[in-house]
Amino acid sequence: MHGRTLAGIARALRAREFSSEELVSHLLARIERLDGELNSFVTVTGEAAVAAARAADRQLAGGSAPPLAGVPIAHKDIFCTAGVKTTCGSRMLDNFISPYDATVVERLRDAGVIMLGKTNMDEFAMGSSNETSYYGPVRNPWDLTRVPGGSSGGSAAAVAARLVPAATGTDTGGSIRQPAALAGITGIKPTYGRVSRYGMIAFASSLDQAGVLTQTAEDAALLLKAMSGHDPRDSTSVNAPVPDYAAGLGESLEGLKIGVVEEFMDQGLDADNAAAIEAALKVFEALGATVQRISLPNIGLSVPTYYVVAPAECSSNLSRFDGVRFGYRAKAPRDLEDLYKRSRGEGFGAEVKRRIMTGTYVLSAGYYDAYYLKAQRSRQLIAADFRRAFETVDVIVGPTSPTPAFELGAKVDDPVTMYLNDIYTIGVNLAGLPGLSAPCGFINGLPVGLQIVGRAFDEGRILNVAHRYQQETDWHARAPGGAFA
Amino acid sequence: MKLSRHEVESIAHLARLEISADEIPVYVDNLSRIIDFVQQLERADTEGVTPMAHPLNMTQPLREDAVTEADQRELYQRNAGAVEAGLYLVPRVIE
């Protein structure tokens, strides 16, 4: 049962091939047996999941079931879940029981989806390797000595190991696409504003967006449809109709104009990685698409721009953690300042503190113009490059990550080396565009991702491009062997 | 650019973060490297470019100034470390 896609599971449940309770119990047993090594879950909500599965089975028998009734998934532990611990991978929230559900959680439940648990992540979504979590690193099921990417590393590892058919994630600079690439699965970050962020713990509010990690583009289309749409409780949520993404899958790619970013292909891309991308482009050409080189002249500014904007916003967002209203509280404070300083100093890990301090520095008196305002100007240049490119092409295709999964500990000593993992993904967040990563090959047994970027609110097109690719190739169907088979 | 120990201590104070004395050199090194890295932005020609405030250049929607939330103080205060009579407790601030 566990190898099936989410769409396949939804069909099998409707055909009564197996019950939701059988499936949920099977997956919970797999998590119990295999997750000790992977560490992809922070919390498993087994009892509630079995009860929800029984209820879904009754709905399925009664013929009144919502579209995804009885389908199990996991939520990244950044989404608030009422009555369930919501940690954001931090000691700061180790004791936090959310009083309410995130809109994403609520909408997926309304669509019939069952939560199996909450997945591990880099602390407050700050990291590219899932090594900054208070709950320890997540391991990559393709090679347990390697990282699964981050920050949605638990979601990526759990889906790759087929512990769940799909999981939610969030992406501020690549945190869905990069782990999807390193774990050999599909992941989509929608357009800024497409999915409500109500109840999604904030990191950098001009960049954060929720999405999903799945086995296939079709599965992503089904979940994205269920979780998208306007939400008055999130002021950045866009009031625009949500297309039926799954209904648009399978459309011809005849005449599709694909842009390939020369700055990405020519500068320092590993030869094997480039070969995998070139091979994918051949598949698209055979499907009737045309490929042309394009230039994003300011894309080289995206990583330094991001590492001013994101820490600045993080330092502001994380000022809410004061040890008073919720979260970690230091013992025996001498005075109010000591309570704030020690609650934050003891509750946050090293990377979060680095980013808060970087953000505080770039926003501080005398430096604001030189760093923050300068970064907001260069962000405009990067976004304008994308706008110009989309006047001549329909999608932009290229690498997701500069390397396949690296070894645990390989990049933890130098924050800047770690930051460069997101060189291909960050520009997309700065421009607010939708981006997807789909598996497109292997290097030394490790998966490689193909990134597909679209115009704002053109999720349907990038999902269809990935879907047509997945109809022609079987990289997405490969799963780790050994204990995970 | 190398930040000084004093600068890092003052940033940590502004951010209300307790950093132990032996951690300070590590943050001096890390933050200096990060600031060095982002200084590449100096090379960007941004003369006359409007700073970007929203990725899709949208504005904040307004709503009517009406009460929409129910009072759930007890539920919310369950997550607080110290409460008494419906109030959050902090160390004394007024002598």
Tell me the domains of chain A and their CATH numbers.
6-231+250-256+458-484 (3.90.1300.10)
Q: Do B56 and A371 touch (CB under 8 A)?
A: no
Q: Which residue of B has its CA nearest to A331?
A: B81
Instruction: Report in angstroms the alpha-carbon separations of A15 from A11, A20, A60, A370, B79.
Output: 6, 12, 9, 62, 44
Average pLDDT of the segment spanning A261-290:
93
**Proportion of chain A above pLDDT 70, given as a percent:** 100
Helix (H) or strand (E) holding A213: strand A209-214
Residue of A328, A374, A385 to mutate when probing chain B, most B C-beta within 10 A: A374
Residue A209 at interface with chain B, using a CB cutoff of 8 Å: no
Cβ proximity of A336 and B88 under 8 Å: no
HSE, CB side, 13 Å, CA atoms: give it for residue A34: 26
One-letter amino acid of B73: R
Instruction: Report in angstroms the alpha-carbon separations of A424 from A174, A181, A313, A399, B19.
Output: 8, 12, 21, 7, 34
Average pLDDT of the segment spanning A241-257:
97
Per residue in A65-118, pLDDT tens?
999 999 999 999 999 999 999 999 999 999 999 999 999 999 999 999 999 999
Residue B52 has its nearest CB partner, among A345, A376, A415, at: A376
- The confidence score (pLDDT) of residue A220 equals 98
CATH of domain B5-41: 1.10.20
Residue A368 to chain B, least CA–CA distance (Å): 12
DSSP one-letter code for A245: G
Q: Do A376 and B15 touch (CB under 8 A)?
A: no
Residue A357 has its nearest CB partner, among B15, B82, B90, at: B15
* Residues in chain A within 8 Å Cβ distance of B39: 304
**Distance, CA of A275 to CA of B10 (rounded, Å):** 49
Cβ proximity of A261 and A295 under 8 Å: yes
- The confidence score (pLDDT) of residue A464 equals 98
- The confidence score (pLDDT) of residue A24 equals 98
Residue A386 to chain B, least CA–CA distance (Å): 12
* Residues in chain A within 8 Å Cβ distance of B41: 301, 304-305, 308, 371, 374-375, 378
- The confidence score (pLDDT) of residue A97 equals 97
Q: Which of residues 312-341 of A touch B (CB under 8 A)?
A: 315, 319, 322-327, 329, 333-341
The yes-or-no verdict on residue A11 having pLDDT over 80 is: yes
Q: Which alpha helices (H) appear in A3-45, and where do they start and end?
A: 6-14, 20-38
DSSP, collapsed to helix, strand or coil, labels residue A442 as strand
DSSP, collapsed to helix, strand or coil, labels residue A455 as coil
Sketch the domain layout of chain B as residue ranges.
Answer: 5-41
Cβ proximity of A374 and B49 under 8 Å: no
* Residues in chain A within 8 Å Cβ distance of B24: none
Average pLDDT of the segment spanning A292-317:
97
The yes-or-no verdict on residue B95 having pLDDT over 80 is: no
Residue A380 to chain B, least CA–CA distance (Å): 5
**Interhelix angle for A350-363 vs B24-38, to 10°?**
60
Least confident segment among A44-58, A230-244, B55-69:
B55-69
One-letter amino acid of B6: H
Q: Do B37 and A416 touch (CB under 8 A)?
A: yes
**Distance, CA of A212 to CA of A128 (rounded, Å):** 17
Q: Which residue of B has its CA nearest to A352?
A: B17
- Find the angle CA(A123)-CA(B39)-CA(B45) to the nearest 5 degrees: 120
Residue of A196, A314, A360 to mutate when probing chain B, most B C-beta within 10 A: A360
Q: Do B61 and A329 touch (CB under 8 A)?
A: no
Q: Do A374 and B46 touch (CB under 8 A)?
A: yes
The yes-or-no verdict on residue B41 having pLDDT over 80 is: yes
The yes-or-no verdict on residue A340 having pLDDT over 80 is: yes
The yes-or-no verdict on residue A184 having pLDDT over 90 is: yes
Average pLDDT of the segment spanning B42-64:
90
- Phi first, then psi: what are they for A171, rounded to 5°? -140, 115
* Residues in chain A within 8 Å Cβ distance of B69: none
Beta-sheet pairing, A114-119 with A41-44: antiparallel
Average pLDDT of chain B to the nearest whole number: 93
The yes-or-no verdict on residue A413 having pLDDT over 90 is: no
Specify the pTM.
0.97
Chain A, chain B: beta-carbon pairs less than 8 Å apart: 166
**Distance, CA of A187 to CA of A435 (rounded, Å):** 8
Name the CA dihedral angle for A251, A156, A167, B75, rounded to a multiple of 10 degrees. -150
| Beta-carbon contacts of residue A426 (< 8 Å; ≥ 6 apart) | A173, A174, A302, A303, A305, A306
* Residues in chain A within 8 Å Cβ distance of B48: none
**Distance, CA of A246 to CA of A263 (rounded, Å):** 33
Residue B37 to chain A, least CA–CA distance (Å): 7
DSSP, collapsed to helix, strand or coil, labels residue A453 as strand
Question: Which among A344, A348, A411, A356 is positioned nearest to A134, based on CA atoms?
Answer: A348
Q: Which residue of A has its CA nearest to B95?
A: A335
**Distance, CA of A168 to CA of A213 (rounded, Å):** 6
* Residues in chain A within 8 Å Cβ distance of B82: 329
Question: Which among A228, A194, A224, A200 is positioned nearest to A212, based on CA atoms?
Answer: A224
Q: Which residue of A has its CA nearest to B89?
A: A324
Residue of A334, A353, A355, A413 to mutate when probing chain B, most B C-beta within 10 A: A353
Residue A426 to chain B, least CA–CA distance (Å): 13
The yes-or-no verdict on residue B68 having pLDDT over 90 is: no
- The confidence score (pLDDT) of residue A478 equals 97
Residue A354 has its nearest CB partner, among B31, B49, B55, at: B31
**Interhelix angle for A46-62 vs A20-38, to 10°?**
150
- Phi first, then psi: what are they for A57, rounded to 5°? -60, -40
Average pLDDT of the segment spanning A227-236:
95
Residue B4 to chain A, least CA–CA distance (Å): 13
Residue B41 has its nearest CB partner, among A99, A341, A378, at: A378
Beta-sheet pairing, A290-294 with A435-443: unpaired
* Residues in chain A within 8 Å Cβ distance of B58: 193, 236, 238
* Residues in chain B within 8 Å Cβ distance of A333: 91
Q: Which residues of A are catalytic?
A: 76, 151, 175
- The confidence score (pLDDT) of residue A416 equals 87
DSSP, collapsed to helix, strand or coil, labels residue A197 as coil
